[in-house]
C-alpha cells in the first residue's frame, strides 16, 4: 500500500480495464467494489426535487437530512440526535477527516480496505496492521491488538485510531458479537477512538445474522461511517455519513471533522442531500429494493465461494457485502507453473491471460497468495434494464 503519486489500486485497475476494453479486449471486471442495480424512481425524483437547493448549505448537512440519518441509526439500536450526524460526498472523505481529527497512529486489521493506510500516510501518520482471527476479517485478533499497541508504544508512538469494517472488505466476513466486545474492551483500556465502517451493514447475506455495532458496546468512543454507494449502488452520486458519539468527546470529534469539511468540501451537494434524506428515511419501496439487491449479492457470493473452495482455494465463507477472498496458497505449485508466484503476479497473469480483473491481497496489506473477487451482481453487468428488473423481481440472477 502506498501514498504519494500512486492512485488508489482499485481506481487504477478500473482505469486499466477501461483502457483494455477500449482497445477491443474482453475483460471480466471483478476488481471494483461496486454493484449495478436499476435506479429506483424515488431516488431520481428526490434528486430532481433537490435541484432547487442551489445555494451553499450548512457544512454538516441540512437539519432535515441529519434528522433522517439519525432516524436510520435509531432503527438500528443506536439512539441518535441530529447534532451527532454529518453528511458528506462519500464516506471516504469522512474517514480521512477522522484520521486528521484523532491524534496518533492508525491501527488496522490486516488485511484491510485499500484506502485506510494511504489516508493515514497522506496525513503524515503511520498505519499498523494487526492480524485478524482465522475465521473472520474486519477486526483484529484481540491478543494481536494488545501486542501491537504495546509495540507501537515501545517505539515512542501513540496509537490513536482503530478502524473496524463490518461486514468486511476484502474478506466479506462479519465479526461476531463476542469478538466486537473483546476488541471494544481493549479500545477502552488503551483509550483508542474506534471508527466502525458499516458501509456494507445492510447487505448481510443472512438478514437475521447477529450484527453488533461497536457503537453499542463502546458508545463513548465509536464513530460509525456509512453511505449509499454500496447498498443503493450509488457510488457515483457520492453520499456518505458519519454518526458521532453523544457527549463531549463526540462533540469535539465532530467539530474537528466539520473544521476539515469546511476547508475541503464545504458541504454535500444540495440535490444529493435531498437524495440522502429520502434514502435514510427508508421508505418501504426503497427498503425492498435494497433487500432484493442484497439477496442477489448473497447468491453470487455463495456461488463464487463454492467455486473457489472447489478449486482448492482456502476461502472464508462470506457473510455480507460483496466480496470473496480466496487464498491460493494451497495451489502454489500449480500456479507457479503459470508464472504466478504471489498475489501481484497472479493478478497480472489472470488479467493478461484470462481477461479477468481482480485485486491481489497485497493491496490490502496482506501476505501474498490471496485475491479479492467482487461477488456482487456481476451476472447483471452488461444486462439490459429489462433483464436487471426481471432479476430483481425474481430474486434469481439473470444468466447472460
Ligand atoms: N469503506 C469501505 C470498506 C469501502 O469498500 C468503500 C468503497 N470501496 C468505502 C468505505 C468508500 O465508499 P464511499 O466513499 O463511496 O462512501
Predicted local distance difference test score (pLDDT) of residue 369: 67
Crossing angle of helices 248-264 and 91-101, in 10° steps, is: 120
- Ligand 1 atom at shortest distance from the alpha carbon of 93: 14
**Co-location of 261 and 304 in the same domain:** no
27 and 96 share one domain: no
pLDDT at residue 216, rounded to an integer: 98
Considering the domain architecture, whether residues 126 and 262 belong to the same structural domain is answered as yes
Question: What value of ipTM does the predicted structure carry?
Answer: 0.99
Q: Which set of grid coordinates corresponds to residue 132?
A: 485478524
Are residues 198 and 263 both part of a single domain? Answer: yes
In this structure, is residue 2 part of a structural domain? no
Ligand 1 near 138 CB (within 6 A)? no
What's the 46 CA to ligand 1 centre distance in angstroms? Answer: 23
Supply the range of the domain harboring residue 349. 9-39+285-394
- Going from the Cα of 132 to the center of ligand 1, the distance in angstroms, rounded, reads 20
Kindly state the cell numbers that stand for 71: 432516524
Question: Does residue 290 fall inside a structural domain?
Answer: yes
Compute the distance between CA of residue 11 and CA of residue 33 in angstroms, rounded to an integer. Answer: 10
270 and 351 fall within a common domain: no
Angle between helices 385-394 and 284-310 (to 10 degrees): 90
Cβ of 140 less than 6 Å from ligand 1: no
The answer to whether residue 356 is domain-embedded is yes
Q: Do 337 and 386 share a structural domain?
A: yes
Per-residue pLDDT at 262: 98
Distance 164 CA to ligand 1 centre (A): 13
pLDDT of residue 75: 98
Would 94 be classed as within a structural domain?
yes
Return the CATH number at 382.
Answer: 3.90.1150.10
CB 18 within 8 A of CB 10: no
283, 318, 335 - which closes a domain: 283
My answer on whether 222 and 326 are in the same domain is: no
Number of domains in the chain: 2
Q: Give me the helices (H) in the chain, please.
A: 9-22, 41-49, 63-74, 91-101, 116-122, 142-154, 177-189, 214-217, 248-264, 270-280, 284-310, 332-336, 343-349, 385-394
The candidate with the shortest Cα–Cα distance to 199, out of 322, 291, 381, 30, is 322
Same domain as 35, residue 52? no
- Grid coordinates given for 101: 481529527
For residues 165 and 314, membership in a common domain is answered with: no
The atom number, within ligand 1, closest to the CA of 228 reads 16
Mutate-to-test residue for ligand 1 from 11, 12, 34, 92, highest number of ligand atoms within 8 A of CB: 92
Expressed in angstroms and rounded, the spacing between residue 111 Cα and the centre of ligand 1 is: 15
Please report whether residue 250 resides in a domain.
yes
284-310 and 41-49 are packed helices; what angle lies between their axes, rounded to 10 degrees?
130
Of all protein residues, the one whose alpha carbon is nearest to atom 7 of ligand 1 is 33
pTM beyond 0.90: yes
* Structural domain includes residue 331: yes
Does residue 84 sit in the same domain as residue 127? yes
CATH code (residue 99): 3.40.640.10
100/162 same-domain check: yes
Q: Are residues 183 and 239 in the same domain?
A: yes
pLDDT of the residue at 328: 85
Specify if 3 maps to a domain: no
Domain boundary among 283, 307, 340: 283
Q: Name the domain boundary from 240, 267, 283.
A: 283
Q: Is residue 4 part of a domain?
A: no
For ligand 1, whether the C-beta of 91 sits within 6 Å is yes
pLDDT along the chain (400 residues), means of 10: 72 90 89 84 97 97 98 98 98 98 97 95 96 94 97 96 97 97 98 98 93 98 98 96 97 98 98 98 96 90 90 91 88 84 88 89 79 63 50 41
What is d(CA 334, CA 341) in angstroms, rounded to the nearest whole number?
10
Amino acid at each position: 500500500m502506498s501514498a504519494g503519486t500512486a492512485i488508489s489500486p482499485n481506481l487504477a485497475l478500473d482505469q486499466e480495464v477501461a483502457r483494455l476494453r477500449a482497445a477491443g479486449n474482453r475483460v471480466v471486471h471483478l476488481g471494483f467494489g461496486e454493484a449495478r442495480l436499476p435506479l429506483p424512481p424515488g431516488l431520481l425524483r428526490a434528486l430532481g426535487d433537490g435541484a432547487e437547493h442551489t445555494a451553499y448549505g450548512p457544512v454538516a448537512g441540512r437539519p432535515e437530512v441529519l434528522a433522517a440519518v439519525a432516524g436510520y441509526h435509531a432503527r438500528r439500536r443506536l439512539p441518535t440526535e441530529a447534532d451527532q450526524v454529518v453528511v458528506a460526498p462519500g464516506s471516504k472523505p469522512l474517514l480521512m477527516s477522522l484520521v486528521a481529527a484523532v491524534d496518533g497512529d492508525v491501527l488496522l486489521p490486516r488485511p484491510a480496505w485499500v484506502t485506510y493506510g494511504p489516508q493515514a500516510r497522506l496525513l503524515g501518520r503511520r498505519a499498523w496492521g494487526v492480524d485478524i482471527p482465522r475465521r473472520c476479517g474486519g477486526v483484529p485478533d484481540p491478543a494481536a491488538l494488545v501486542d501491537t499497541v504495546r509495540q507501537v508504544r515501545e517505539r515512542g508512538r501513540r496509537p490513536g485510531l482503530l478502524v473496524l469494517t463490518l461486514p468486511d472488505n476484502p474478506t466479506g466476513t462479519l465479526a461476531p458479537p463476542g469478538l466486537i466486545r473483546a476488541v471494544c474492551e481493549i479500545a477502552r483500556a488503551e483509550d483508542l477512538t474506534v471508527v466502525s465502517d458499516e458501509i456494507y451493514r445492510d447487505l448481510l447475506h443472512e438478514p437475521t445474522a447477529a450484527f453488533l455495532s461497536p457503537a453499542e458496546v463502546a458508545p463513548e468512543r465509536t464513530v460509525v461511517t456509512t453511505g449509499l454507494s454500496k447498498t443503493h449502488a450509488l457510488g457515483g452520486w457520492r453520499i456518505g455519513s458519519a454518526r458521532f458519539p453523544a457527549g463531549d468527546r463526540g462533540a469535539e470529534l465532530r467539530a474537528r471533522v466539520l473544521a476539515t469539511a469546511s476547508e475541503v468540501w464545504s458541504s454535500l451537494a444540495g440535490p444529493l442531500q435531498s437524495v440522502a434524506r429520502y434514502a435514510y428515511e427508508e421508505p418501504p419501496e426503497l427498503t425492498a429494493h435494497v433487500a432484493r439487491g442484497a439477496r442477489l449479492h448473497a447468491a453470487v457470493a455463495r456461488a463464487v465461494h463454492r467455486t473457489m473452495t472447489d478449486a482448492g482455494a482456502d476461502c472464508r465463507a462470506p457473510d455480507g457485502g460483496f466480496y470473496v477472498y480466496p487464498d491460493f496458497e494451497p495451489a502454489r505449485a500449480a500456479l507457479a507453473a503459470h508464472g504466478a508466484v504471489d498475489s501481484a503476479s497472479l493478478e497480472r497473469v489472470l488479467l493478461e491471460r484470462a481477461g479477468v480483473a481482480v485485486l491481489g491481497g497485497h493491496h490490502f496489506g496482506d501476505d501474498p497468495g490471496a485475491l479479492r473477487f467482487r461477488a456482487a451482481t456481476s451476472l447483471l453487468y452488461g444486462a439490459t434494464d429489462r433483464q436487471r428488473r426481471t432479476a430483481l423481481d425474481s430474486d434469481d440472477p439473470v444468466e447472460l
